[in-house]
Amino acid sequence: AQSVTQLDSHVSVSEGTPVLLRCNYSSSYSPSLFWYVQHPNKGLQLLLKYTSAATLVKGINGFEAEFKKSETSFHLTKPSAHMSDAAEYFCVVSDRRGGGNKLTFGTGTQLKVEL
């Protein structure tokens, strides 16, 4: 079975400082991994995804994530936070089993950006 653990339910940073949102996964197969962002009263927007190509994945809005198989981690980073980054972030794993695209979501990390 696959699972995702987002280690922090809330993260608070100052504008202009780095962002680190942590995610660990468990999967019996070679996984695909995603980060989605959800702004208030909006749906989920894809930030980036890993699908067994380069382990360092670059996404939109300056975000990137590194797939580390030995640590079973897929942490999301950004060098400099902006006020507009305040939102909820979800780490997601998708198993490479037969039978379809089954995503397992983490519980989310709420990012707060302060002046």
Stretch that binds other proteins, among 17-25, 37-45, 59-67, 72-80 (CB under 8 A): 37-45
Q: Whole-number minimum distance, CB 81 to other proteins, in Å?
A: 24
Q: Whole-number minimum distance, CB 46 to other proteins, in Å?
A: 6
Q: Whole-number minimum distance, CB 80 to other proteins, in Å?
A: 26
Does residue 40 interact with other proteins by CB under 8 A?
no
Which residue type sits at 3?
S
3-state DSSP call for residue 2? coil
Q: Which of 61, 88, 56, 94 is nearest to 75 (CA)?
A: 56
Whole-number Cα distances in Å, 65 to 72, 80, 92, 98: 13, 14, 13, 26
By CB under 8 A, what part of segment 41-70 binds other proteins? 41-46, 49, 51
Chain positions contacting other proteins, by CB under 8 A:
4, 31-32, 34, 36, 41-46, 49, 51, 90, 94-97, 99-108
